[in-house]
Amino acid sequence: MKPVATSTASPAVDATKRTDPNANSEASLFTRHPANPILSRKDWPYPINSVFNAAAVRLADGDTLLLCRVEDRRGLSHLCAARSANGIDGWRIDETPTLEAKPDEFPEEIWGIEDPRITCIPELDQYAVAYTSFSRGGPGVSLALTKDFKTFERYGVIMQPEDKDAALLPHRIGGNWAMIHRPVTTLGAHMWISYSPDLRHWGSHKVMLEARRGGWSNANKIGLCSPPIETAKGWLAIYHGVRSTASGSIYRLGLALFDLERPEVCLQRGDSWMFGPEAPYERGGDVNDVVFPCGQTIGTDGDTINLYYGAGDSCMALATGSIRACLLWLDANSSANDRSSS
């Protein structure tokens, strides 16, 4: 990064001190871990191109498990588990892919499986993994259940293309399972929520949050990031907004809060993004200017968010924040009840 030029600066500002191009950013809600990137291809036990967009969960034994999207050297993705006692380093990575595409049985997985989100489901005593299947018709949403991240019960595709960025809520709402996802329709790429009695048959589809329009940083395309966090005030959701520019897309993160009983009702939506590509590993990669979280763990204090995110479609990074701070930030930075595309 180059320092800001000094020659034309106003005399009142000591521009020589402004070596950080983001120096006028407001205090960030999330702090990057100094060990970033925490996982990259050099760590892998077998040849790969990149590791990014991992789902995250804290296991019963206290380990953090990241179910990473791993892109092989054909360009196709599979999922591979990495476990660590502190969620930062000392990763123990499965020696072979943990969950691979099975196109013979599931033709929608012909070009790989991507971007998982894990939800712990106490009623089933299992973890649900919602992931993207890359089919001939585009991306769709598939679901698998597991107890141990070794064997998986595959449900196949549950939302047909074009659809992705899906996560299950951890318990039924009004008797039905609820899943957030991002279908692309002629109306745009918005976040929807759908309901199911059995995790196989989905209906009662409702728009949950719309991409904005015009000049907004999250105009035209948004999608859920990590599974929403259940708080006393509502479901706290981190979502990505995509800005299209002449030199490509910029993926940044926004915050929104949804009603606990009726999650399709947006209570608050932040106006500005709260985290975006700034570090070198986020600004440059196979795809530049991408931060893309698919999972988080919550600290033992019940407040700390350990947000795991893919950076530049090339490596995994960690940033920490606070549920309380996110809720306060929404109080201060939201337009009232704005779920729409104004």
Q: Is 313 in the site for ligand BMA (CB under 6 A)?
A: yes
Least distance in angstroms from the C-beta of 239 to ligand BMA: 13
Task: Report the site for ligand BMA in 248-277 (rule: CB under 6 A).
Answer: 251
In the complex, least distance from residue 298 CB atom to ligand BMA, rounded to whole angstroms: 24
Q: Please report the DSSP string for 260-289 in residue order.
A: SS-TTSEEEEESS-SB---SHHHHSSSSSS
Q: Which two tokens stand for residue 171?
A: 């318990």
Specify the residue, 117 or 212, whose C-beta has the smaller distance to ligand BMA.
Answer: 117
Minimum separation from the CB atom of position 292 to ligand BMA (A): 4
β-strand partners of 298: 305
Q: How far is the CB of 299 from ligand BMA (least distance, A)?
A: 26
Shortest reach from residue 287's CB to ligand BMA, in Å: 4
Task: Write down the residue that tokens 């999330």 correspond to.
Answer: 30
SS3 label, residue 4: coil
- Rule CB under 6 A: say whether 194 interacts with ligand BMA: no
Distance CA 162, CA 317 (A): 28
Number of residues in contact with ligand BMA, rule: CB under 6 A?
A: 9
- Which residue in 116, 254, 285, 310 binds ligand BMA (CB under 6 A)? 310
Using CB under 6 A as the binding rule, whether residue 115 contacts ligand BMA is answered as: yes
Q: What angle do CA 92, 319, 54 make, to 5 degrees?
A: 45
Is the separation of the CB atoms in 84 and 101 below 8 Å?
no
Q: Among residues 71, 94, 109, 114, which is the contact residue for ligand BMA, using CB under 6 A? A: 114
Contact indicator for 82, 93 with CB cutoff of 8 Å: yes
Query: Which positions lie near ligand BMA, rule CB under 6 A?
Result: 53, 114-115, 251, 287, 290, 292, 310, 313
